[in-house]
A and B are shown apart, each in its own frame.
Chain A
Amino acid sequence: MGNKIAKILVVGAGISGIRAALDFADIGYQVCVVEKSPAVGGILLQLDRQFPNNHCGMCRMLPMIDRDVCSQFCLRRGLFHDSISVHTSTEVVSIEGNPGQLKVVLSRQPRGVDSELCNFCGKCEEVCPVSVPDTFNEGLGERKAICLPVPHQTSGPYSIDWASCTKCGECEKACPTGAVKLDNEHETFDMEDVAAVIIATGTKLFNPDSVDLYGCGEFPNVVTSTAFERIISSSGPFKGSLVRPSDGREVKKVAWLQCVGSRNLMIGADYCSSACCMFAIKEALLAREKMSKDAETVIFYMDMRTFGRDFQRYRDRAEKESGVRFVRCRVHSIEPGENPDDLRLKYVDSSRKTVEEDFDMIVLSTGKEPGRKLPDYASHEGVFVADSAKGLKDISGSVIGAEVAAGRASRMLKNLGIMPADKDKDQKSAGQSKAFEERPRVQVVLCECGVISDAGSLLDGIESELEKFPGRLDIVRVKSLCRKEGWDKVKQIIRDGSANRLVFAACNKNVLGPKIKELEEDTEIFDSIVESADIYSGDERSIDSLIKDLDMAVSRLRSRRALFEHSQPVTGSALVIGGGPAGLSAALALADHKIDVFLVEKSETLGGNLKYIIDKELRQSIEEILNKVEGNPRIKIHKEAELITSSGISGNFTSKIQMKTGEQKTILHGVTILATGGTAAETDSYSMDDHERIVSLFEMEKLVNDASFSGQAVKSIVMIQCAGTREEPRNYCSRVCCIKSLNNALKIKQIHPDAEVYIFYRDIMTYGDSERIYTEARKKGIVFIPFDIDTKPEVLVESGGLLVKGIDPVLGVPVELKPDWLSLAVGVVPNFIKDLVKIFGIETTQDGFIKEADSKWRPVDTGQEGIFVCGLARAPARADEAMKEGEAAAQRALRILSKNEIIPQRLLARVRHSICSMCSLCIEVCPFNARYIDTAEGKIMVDIASCQGCGTCAAICPNSATLIVDFEDDGIMNVIEAAL
C-alpha cells in the first residue's frame, strides 16, 4: 500500500479513551484501542446516571457529523466505528521507537470464548459449576466463572474469568458452536508504525477494605459508592430496589461518608479526589427517588466541594427541595447498632454535641487510590497522557482532558508531516448507495443453524409462509451463519445474485452485527440494506409470530429510498472571539494544524486576564503562547475590533467585524470559537467600599507580591471567602478564589511569619492536587473559621480601623478580630456578551455564562454545531484550565475544519419543497437548529452538518413535507401493518 493511514493507539477504553479515539477517527486517523478489562466503557458502565443532572447521555459522545461510520445506539453497549478497532483484555507491555513510528508490544489474555462463534445462547453459563461474587456488581450477588462481563454490552461475547475458572471443561462440552476454548496462555503481539499513543488508563478507586476504621468487608451494609450505584441500578443485584445487602430489608436511612481514602495524610493521600462530593449528592438524590417520603439521607463531609458551574445550585436543591441532610464533620468510626445489621455513627454536630445515630446502610465515598503511578512508557516521546489518567476527573474534565491529549498528539503529527487519510476521497457514502435507486429485490437468508435440532421443520414452515408474501422474494438456506463457512456462502450469494436488499433470519442480531460490517467491506453493500430477524433466541415462538418479524424486516427494507442530499462545502478557517488565555490557546492549536485563524479582540492588547496574573510559571506559559500567536502567519489578529453580524451554517459562516476606526471587514470561516472570558466580580457585601483596606483577593494578591509589602507592619490579616458568591443571585463557586486566597495567605506567612492570618470560609475548594496548598496552610498556622450562609462574619469600620466578628468553631464563642487588611473572595463573572448571544442565537445560563450543548459529554460545544465555547465564557476556570478548554474547543472544531465538504449521512431530514408551505414549525422545533430559510431560493433548508435525523420536524410537519430517510411515513405504516 502506498498511502498508509497513520495509526493511533489509545490505551484505556473509559470515557477519556473513547473520546480520544473518536476524536482521531473524526479527523481521519485509524485508531486502535486497547483495554485491560473485557469491556469498553470504564467505570461508566457501572453508573446508570451521572451528575450534575442525574441523566445518562453517554451516546452524545458519538460522532454527530460522520454518523454512518459509527454505531448509532447506546454507547454503553459498546463502541463500533469503522476506523476504530478495539482490543479488550489487552495491555501494553512496552513502547519504543520514535514518534510517528513507534513500536508497541501488547499482551492479550484470551477471553476463552471465540467472538466469531459465540451466539450468546448462555448454555455455558448454565452448566458452569463455579459461582463467585459478581465483580460487575461490586461483589454483590453471584455470577459464574464464565459470564457476560457486562450484561448490557454486546461488543464482546461471553468471557472466562480465569482467576476463578477450574477448567472443568463443562462449558466447552455444552457450547453448541464450539466457541469455548479453555486456553488462557497470554499472547504477546507487536504493533508497528504507531504514529502516537494516548494514555487514558483512568484512575483506580481506593479500596476501603485496607482501612479497618470503616468496617467495609466486615459489615455487609457498609458499601462503597460504586457498590451503591449497582444496588440502585435496575440491572443490579436487587433489580433496582434499595435494600440492604445483609437482610434484603428496605433501606430507610442511609449515610454517605466523604473523603474515604482522600484528603488523608495517614495513607499518603494529600489530595482531593474532586468528583466524590457531587457523586455522593447524586447518589443521595437517586436514593430519595427510590425511598419512602420519610426516609433519611445524610452526607457527612469536611468541605462540600461543589466547584463546578452548576454544582452549588445542585447541592442547594438537594438540601432544600429533596431533603438531603448535610453534616459537616469527619466521622471517625463505624460500630454495629442495637440491631447487629444496623450501623452506628458517633459524631460531633454543629452545636458541638456528640451524637449517636443509627443507619440502615453506610456508603463510603471512595476517591482516587493513593500512590498510583503512570507506567514508565508514559513519558516516552510521542506518548500523550489524558488528564483522567493523572487523577480522578468528572466526566467533563475527562472529556476535555482527552481532547487536549488528542489535540497535542495530532499537532505533533502534523508537525512531523504525518497525515490522516483523505477522508473525502475515502469515505463511502452509505446514503448514496446505488441499491436504493433500484426496485427492491429482497433476498431472505434463512440460517439452518446447527445448534437447534429441529430447525429444519421450523424453516419449512417459515419458507412456506414466506412464499405467500406479495412481491418478489428470494429465499435461500445457509448452514450455520455464525461460522465462517456459512458466512462465506452468504458473500457468494450476494456476489452471484441480483438482490439489493438482504434479510437474515438467524439468531441474536448482536452476533450478526460485526459480520454484517465485514460484509460491507467485502461486497460493497451497506448495512442500511440489511435487516435481521431473530428466529432462534428466547422461548419457542409460533410460526405466525416469527413470520411477522420477517414481514416487518421486509417492509422496512422495501421502503428504504435513495438519498438526494448534496454535500456541503466547508470553509477551512476559524474565527476566534477573545484573545485571553482560552482564545489564544485555541487559535494556536488550530494554526498548528495549518488552519487559518481570525482572532478578534475587543481591547487593544491580547492576553485577557494575563495582566492580573502574578504567578510566574502561569504567566510564562501564557506569554509563550501569546508570542507564538503573534508570530504565527496563519493567525490574523484584529485588536480593538468587535463582531457585528454573523450568519450561515456550520462549515460556512460569514461574519462582519468592525474596527475602532469604523472600518468593517467581512470574514468567511467554517467555525466560531467563543472565548469571551470573564472578570473579577464586584460586590457590595462586607462593606467593601467603606474602607480602603478592604480589598478583593485579586488586589490582595498584587499587594502581597509587591516588593513594598515586606516593609509594611502587618500583624493580622483576615480573608473572607465566598463574598457575594455561592448564594443567589450569584450562586456558583468561582473556582479560583480558595486557591488564590490560600496562596496569598502562605505568601503573607512567608514574608511576615508572625502575622496572624484568619480565613473565614464556607467550604475550602482546593480540589485535586491543590489540596496540598490547604494542608500547607494549616501547617503554617493559618486559622480557618467555617461559617454558614446564615452565620456570616460581620465587618465593621470602627474609628478608622476594621473589626471582624465571627464565631469560634471549636468553642462556639464569638471572636473579634482587628485586621490590618481584609481580603474578600469576590469571585468571577463572565464578560457581558448580550450582543454576541443574540448574533449567534446561543443560550446562556442565568449567570450569563454560555451554555454548552451538554455539560458532561459535550462541554465545549454550544447548541449550534460549528460554534464552540471555552474558558471563562463557559464557566469559572483557572487560567491553565481555560487554556486546556481552548485546546479542546480547537480539537472539536477540527472535526469540521479537517473536511473539504460535509457528506450527507443516511439518517437525515429532507424537505419536499413542492408541498412545503413554509410554515416554519420545523425551524422552531428542531433541537439542533439545523433548519433555516434560504431567502434567495425561498425554501426551507436542512443543514446536513447539524441535522441528526431525530425526526421531530417530520412529526410536526402538518402536510408531511418533511421526512426522515429510512423512517418515512409510508415505511413506518407498512411496518405497523406487517406487525399486526
Chain B
Amino acid sequence: MSDEFEPKIIALVCNWCTYTAADLAGTSRLAYSANVRIIRLMCTGMIDPKYILKALLDGADGVFIGGCHPGDCHYINGNLKAKKRISGISKIVEQFGFDPERLRLRWIGASEGPEFQRNMNEFFESIKALGSTPVRDRMIL
C-alpha cells in the first residue's frame, strides 16, 4: 500500500435524489474514490446529529451529506430541516476538536450523476488537504 493519505469518507445520502444520482454515477461509470462509503437513508431529515459524531469519532475523515434540492424533497421539507440541524451540529463538531470542514452538506438531484461525482471528488480533495482525522493521533476513545 502506498503511504499517500486516502481519506475515508462517509456519505449519508437521501434515498430519493442523491442516492439515485450516486447510482447514476455508478451506471455511467463516473469514477470517484473507492474510500467513499455510501449509506442510504430515507431522507436527510432523518439524520440524527449522533450519526455524524459517531462517524467522526469512529475515524471518518469526512462526512458528506447529500439531499434533494430544496423543494424536491419527497417528504416536503426534510432537506431543509437537515440544513438547519447540520449548521448547528457543525458548531458541536468543532467542540469535539474536528474542523467543521469535515462535514459537508450538498443538494444533488436524481439526474445529477456527474454532479455527484464532482462533489465526491471535491470533498475528497478538500479532506485530503485537511489531512487525517485527529481521532487517530490525538484522541483516545
Residue positions of A touching B, CB distance < 8 A: 48-49, 53-57, 59-60, 72-74, 76-77, 120, 122, 148, 151-152, 154, 233-235, 239-240, 508, 510, 534, 537-539, 541-542, 545, 548-549, 552, 907, 925, 927-928, 948-952, 954-955, 964, 967, 969, 972-973, 975-977, 979-980
The main secondary structure of chain A at its interface with chain B is loop
Looking across the interface, which residue of chain B has its beta carbon closest to that of A952?
B45
Q: CA of A148 to CA of B26 in the docked complex: distance in angstroms?
A: 14
B28 at the interface (CB under 8 A from A): yes
- Residues from chain B with a CB closer than 8 A to the CB of A967 are 41-42, 46
* Beyond A73-B15, A976-B39, 12 extra complex contacts between A and B, CB < 8 Å: A56-B69, A56-B110, A234-B113, A240-B114, A534-B26, A548-B37, A549-B37, A927-B77, A950-B75, A950-B78, A951-B43, A976-B60
Pairs A–B under 8 Å by Cβ, sample size 26 = A56-B109, A57-B72, A73-B15, A77-B110, A152-B111, A234-B109, A235-B113, A508-B26, A534-B26, A539-B31, A545-B34, A552-B37, A927-B76, A948-B74, A950-B74, A950-B78, A952-B46, A955-B48, A955-B81, A964-B42, A964-B46, A976-B39, A976-B54, A976-B60, A977-B54, A979-B55
- Residues from chain B with a CB closer than 8 A to the CB of A552 are 37, 39
Looking across the interface, which residue of chain A has its beta carbon closest to that of B71?
A55
Would you give the shortest CB distance from B45 to chain A, in whole angstroms? 4
Q: Are A54 and B51 in contact, with the CB atoms below 8 A?
A: no
Would you give the shortest CB distance from A32 to chain B, in whole angstroms? 26
Interface residues on B, range: 35 or more
Would you give the shortest CB distance from A347 to chain B, in whole angstroms? 35
Would you give the shortest CB distance from A856 to chain B, in whole angstroms? 11
Most A C-beta atoms less than 10 A away, residue of B23, B58, B113, B115: B23
- Residues from chain A with a CB closer than 8 A to the CB of B72 are 55-57
Q: Are A952 and B112 in contact, with the CB atoms below 8 A?
A: no
Q: CA of A233 to CA of B10 in the docked complex: distance in angstroms?
A: 27
Looking across the interface, which residue of chain B has its beta carbon closest to that of A233?
B111
Q: CA of A239 to CA of B24 in the docked complex: distance in angstroms?
A: 13
Would you give the shortest CB distance from B78 to chain A, in whole angstroms? 5
Q: Are B115 and A240 in contact, with the CB atoms below 8 A?
A: yes
Q: Are B114 and A545 in contact, with the CB atoms below 8 A?
A: no
Q: CA of A56 to CA of B115 in the docked complex: distance in angstroms?
A: 16
Would you give the shortest CB distance from B40 to chain A, in whole angstroms? 9
The main secondary structure of chain B at its interface with chain A is loop
Q: A48-B109, A541-B34 are in contact. Are A151 and B39 (CB under 8 A)?
A: no
- Residues from chain B with a CB closer than 8 A to the CB of A954 are 46, 48
Would you give the shortest CB distance from B106 to chain A, in whole angstroms? 13
Q: Are B45 and A951 in contact, with the CB atoms below 8 A?
A: yes
Q: CA of A154 to CA of B37 in the docked complex: distance in angstroms?
A: 22
Chain B, residues 95-122, CB within 8 Å of chain A (1/0): the string is 0000000000000011111110000000
Most A C-beta atoms less than 10 A away, residue of B31, B46, B71: B46
Q: Are B26 and A538 in contact, with the CB atoms below 8 A?
A: yes
Q: Are B41 and A235 in contact, with the CB atoms below 8 A?
A: no
Chain B, residues 60-77, CB within 8 Å of chain A (1/0): the string is 100000000111101111
- Residues from chain B with a CB closer than 8 A to the CB of A948 are 74-75
Q: Are B39 and A972 in contact, with the CB atoms below 8 A?
A: yes
Partner of A74, one of B17, B50, B81: B17
- Residues from chain B with a CB closer than 8 A to the CB of A977 are 54, 58
B87 at the interface (CB under 8 A from A): no
Would you give the shortest CB distance from A556 to chain B, in whole angstroms? 9
Would you give the shortest CB distance from B92 to chain A, in whole angstroms? 15
Would you give the shortest CB distance from A230 to chain B, in whole angstroms? 11
